Amino acid sequence: MIASPASAIVLRAKVAAVPDGKSLVVVNGSRSLTVILVAVDTPDLLQEYGDVAREHLASLVLGKEVQVEFTQLESTNVVGRVAYNNADIGLQIIRDGVAWYDKSNDQDLSGAERTVYAAAEQAARTERRGLWHDGSPMPPWVWRRAQVAQTIVPTPRGTKGAGAAVRSLTMDDLLFA
């Protein structure tokens, strides 16, 4: 079971879709909400293991009623924790080796929970579960930076603004515009 901070909002909802390995769309009545798992990062869909991460998350929760805990609602997206049958799904996918513990996004976890998440990732690495089977998979934040770097095109010499770089749009620019 997830331990709730005093200011947390908890709702029960049915999982209607799993767009990627770290987010899910839930429906509560007529309202749809996208939940991004807190303290979890998974390979992007175009990255190696991205489809595996999404399929694994879907196998755990798609079509099931889950408990969603979050502290802030921003439009139709929240960063929160999801539980099914009293199991923390974010922790589960880390332990199963399809996700990284994202220390940059763990503010809503207690110190003890951070320790458990870190231990789950270390256990998956040690046991070479999932993406850790290959030893050193590329973390998604490194992969994303590499994708952005590939979209930067230097201005040809002799043109106005020589040496300046023009950044092309990426999928992230389009998704959150």
Q: Report yes or no on 114 lying in a domain.
A: yes
Position 135 scores a pLDDT of: 77
Reported pTM = 0.79
Indicate if 114 and 28 belong to the same structural domain: yes
Among left, alpha and beta (phi > 0; psi -120 to 50; other), residue 75 is left
Considering the domain architecture, whether residues 104 and 55 belong to the same structural domain is answered as: yes
* Same-domain pairing of 33 and 79: yes
3-class SS letters over 137-157 = CCCHHHHHHHHHHHCEEECCC
Asked if the structure places residue 39 within a domain, the reply is: yes
In-domain check, residue 43 = yes
Residue 52: CATH number of its domain: 2.40.50.90
pLDDT attached to residue 163 = 46
87 in a domain, yes or no?
Answer: yes
Spatial CB neighbours of 138, under 8 Å, sequence gap ≥ 6: 43, 47, 48
Sequence-separated (6 or more) residues with CB below 8 Å from residue 172: 144
For residues 27 and 64, membership in a common domain is answered with: yes
* Residue 46: per-residue pLDDT: 84
- 23 and 107 share a domain? yes
Residues 95 and 48 in one domain: yes
Spell out, as residue ranges, where the chain has pLDDT lower than 70: 1-6, 152-177
For residues 69 and 119, membership in a common domain is answered with: yes
Count of domains forming the chain: 2
Q: Are residues 99 and 113 in the same domain?
A: yes
Domain annotation covers residue 4: no
**Residue ranges making up the domain that contains 99:** 9-134
Is 1 a member of any domain? no
40 and 113 co-located in one domain? yes
Same-domain check for residues 78 and 106: yes
Q: What is the pLDDT of residue 177?
A: 36
* pLDDT, tens digit (0-9, with 9 covering 90-100), for 145-165: 877 777 765 656 555 544 444
Q: Are residues 53 and 78 both part of a single domain?
A: yes
The encoded tokens of residue 81 equal 């924790």
Tell me whether residue 105 is in a domain.
yes
Q: Do 102 and 154 have their domain in common?
A: no
**What pLDDT, on the 0 to 100 scale, is given for residue 1?**
47
The one-character DSSP state at 2 is P
